[in-house]
Amino acid sequence: MTEATARTAISPTAAVEHALKLLPTQPALAERQAREILKVLPHDARALFIVGAALRRAGDAGGARVVLEPLARAVPDSAYAHHELGLALAGLGESAAALDELRRAAELERGLPHVWLSLHDHFSLTGDEDGAAAAYSEHIRASLKDPNLLQAAEALRDGRLMDAQRTLKAHLERFPTDVSAMRMMGETAARLNHFEVAEELLLRCLELAPKFVGARHNYALVLFQQNKPHEAIRELDILLADAPGDVKYLPLLAACMTFIGDYQKSLELLERVLAEHPKQARLWMSYGQTLRTTGRGDDAVNALKRAIALNPSLGEAYWSLADIKTRRFGDAEITAMRRQLADSTLRAGDRLHLHYALGKALEDSRSWAESFEHYAAGAALRRAEQPHDADENTAWVERCKAVFTEAFFAEREEGGREDPAPIFVLGLPRSGSTLLEQILAAHSKVEATLELPDIAHLTNRVSHDSRKSGGPEYPEAAAQLSAEMRTALGDEFIRRTLPFRRLGRAFFLDKMPSNFFHVGFIRLILPRAKIIDIRRHPMAACFSAFKQHFFRGQNYTYDLTDLGRYYRDYVALMEHFDRVMPGRIHRVIYEELVDDTETEIRRLLAYCGLDFEPACLRFWETGRAVSTHSSEQVRRPIFRDALDQWRHYEPWLAPLEAALGPALESWRPVTR
């Protein structure tokens, strides 16, 4: 049958319906059929819609726009036309116009689940977490008809997380295999920072519905939030295998690649997304942050400036520029930051970052009082989000001291993985650990990895398993570990860290600062591991941490009294381990490393059982990627500039000094 005969044999309405059915799976064929209809009915709105939608699906966003823009004007009440136009505009990188169209589609027909899902994806891509959460809640509402789930969706949308949790829990007790409710429960748990619960719920959801792509995407995100990048990558690979052209998964995949140290792959992924969405400020910011890690400082600055040009209120981009310690802001940038902070509608997250960035800018211009004012304002905002219980921390340290005694270790000489490969560098952030890492990584037998979360993960699991059997939590649970269990935990640590050891060297570094809490556990499961405690003057270390906005964790750094007490607890715990594990911990005093670098490096290498190599004295020449806040500083020779920087702020540091108490004297052991 010829096409002309087909046109006469099939009514236009039936032909359009057929083309619409072809559109999701065979867009090219749908487009051809729609164009044939347009030869007969040149102004048929549905046929024009099919052509535009098919062009967009084929990757021709520009061609789709040519068709869809006049269509949306001709049929202004068509949610479908506005939705499709919004997706085409997003593909062209016109974020604001795309958002207008998607919102228009949602206003016209609030009951279309796919429109809300597109809004959710658009908000996620642009970093608008509140908008994404609200759109997702509306997507659920549009997808479901159960009144209980609608009620839960409304609670999620409004941020009433506990209400949503109660409603969903009751619903799942009645309908335990409802995967939509399960996904919502997982989303709620994640937003409450109950990541382990969210992981269990989403995994169960995928067991029941393996093709539930939304749940799998949530699952990947929750895995990443728990420092499980390899597991998250596995889930994202499944999603991308089914939808290889869907770029909404790539930013999370790029973040995972950054986490595991594959910075080049991360850059490639971000460049791919930016090629399709060149006007997304947060993507440019992520790109700039990754460029900085790889040492491409000028390119990083340009990318971050582009992010700010696209979104002048993006506080985190300003902070990312400020965090490049060797760069200074110009007068125009300082004026721009002040202007943004004066805007009462500025988002809380942007305000927080701008306070820190302006604090750094004013520090560089020696405006100490105003600089401290902004650092303190940023810290206060952060502390309100992430409170810290200093009493609980002190109590936990006392529990560790009570468990890990000299007698405790004497009774447990057997067991653990007899592997000398791990070298732990620990202490407080901003005390010189990155410098020490850079020095050791310059040695031919040592590989630097990252601040690995695996020791804390293993202690959490020991605690969880003990509680399940009615036993105590960690650290008391460590007393129940048999020699075989300690060996198995040591084996697991080595196995979990293997993916980060790309160079195959004999020794590797784990630079997680907070591992000082777990020195006793490390001794149990890795008895031959080396432990290096790098320490800096408490006023210098604590103030440096106070003015540093950390991307995650370190909640104790946002209050001067909390900081002082934390440092005091740290010194007390390390003194305890020095007594019960004499000679096991090597201590480096940052100020001594600066004053007599070669002597301290030789001492360090001797402790690690390594021969001296001159390359360790020229550590800045390694060319390796550095992901911490000191990345620029460790790419140049040791300098003295920061040793006494804290003294400029001494008039405002009385709460810190008072909280440090005896640690002001005891932090630096007389003999080492």
pLDDT of res. 639:
55
Instruction: Give per-residue pLDDT as tens, 365-381.
Output: 999 999 999 999 999 99
446, 517 Cβ separation under 8 angstroms = no
- Co-location of 453 and 351 in the same domain: no
Rounded CA gap, 241 and 648, in Å?
56
- Co-location of 376 and 435 in the same domain: no
586, 604 Cβ separation under 8 angstroms = yes
CB atoms within 10 A of CB 247: 20
Instruction: Give per-residue pLDDT as tens, 132-142.
Output: 777 877 777 77
- Co-location of 362 and 444 in the same domain: no
pLDDT of res. 4:
41
- Co-location of 362 and 497 in the same domain: no
| Bigger pLDDT: 560 vs 108 | 560
Q: Assess if residue 497 is contained within a domain.
A: yes
Strand pairing report for 530-535 and 422-427? parallel
- Co-location of 595 and 636 in the same domain: yes
Q: Assess if residue 255 is contained within a domain.
A: no
Rounded CA gap, 658 and 561, in Å?
8
At 507, give phi and psi (nearest 5°): -125, 150
Q: What percent of the chain is predicted at pLDDT more than 70? A: 94
Rounded CA gap, 228 and 205, in Å?
19
User: First vs last Cα of the chain: how many Å apart?
Assistant: 94
pLDDT of res. 369:
97
The pTM assigned to this predicted structure is 0.75
Rounded CA gap, 599 and 385, in Å?
44
Distances from the Cα of 285 to the Cαs of 258, 314, 657, in angstroms? 14, 9, 37
- pLDDT of 624 > 70? The answer is no
- Co-location of 481 and 381 in the same domain: no
215 token code pair: 């749940």
* Nearest one of 665, 458, 639 to 568, comparing CA atoms: 665
Instruction: Give per-residue pLDDT as tens, 224-279.
Output: 988 888 899 999 999 999 888 788 899 999 999 988 888 899 999 999 999 888 88
- Co-location of 419 and 487 in the same domain: yes
* Nearest one of 39, 50, 46 to 6, comparing CA atoms: 39
DSSP conformation letters of 97-136: HHHHHHHHHHHH-TT-HHHHHHHHHHHHHHT-HHHHHHHH
- Co-location of 568 and 615 in the same domain: yes
* 3-state secondary structure (DSSP) of residue 475: coil
Q: Assess if residue 244 is contained within a domain.
A: no
- Co-location of 451 and 589 in the same domain: yes
431, 543 Cβ separation under 8 angstroms = no
Q: Assess if residue 209 is contained within a domain.
A: no
Instruction: Give per-residue pLDDT as tens, 377-396.
Output: 999 999 988 889 999 999 99
Q: Assess if residue 48 is contained within a domain.
A: yes
Instruction: Give per-residue pLDDT as tens, 472-500.
Output: 999 999 999 999 999 999 999 999 999 88
* 3-state secondary structure (DSSP) of residue 588: strand
Residue 446, strand partner residues:
507
Q: What's 653's domain CATH number? A: 3.40.50.300
Q: Across the beta sheet with 585-589, what order do the strands follow?
A: 446-448, 507-510, 422-427, 530-535, 585-589
Range of the domain at 54: 3-190
Confidence of residue 670 (pLDDT cuts 50, 70, 90): low
Residue ending a domain, among 142, 163, 190, is 190
Q: Assess if residue 523 is contained within a domain.
A: yes
- Co-location of 340 and 443 in the same domain: no
Residue ending a domain, among 365, 385, 405, is 385
The number of angstroms, rounded, from the C-alpha of 188 to the middle of its chain's C-alpha atoms is 19
Q: Please name the residues in contact with 335: beta carbons below 8 A apart, sequence gap of 6 or more.
A: none
Mean pLDDT of the chain: 88
340, 617 Cβ separation under 8 angstroms = no
Rounded CA gap, 427 and 473, in Å?
24
Confidence of residue 145 (pLDDT cuts 50, 70, 90): low
- Co-location of 508 and 615 in the same domain: yes
- Co-location of 444 and 356 in the same domain: no
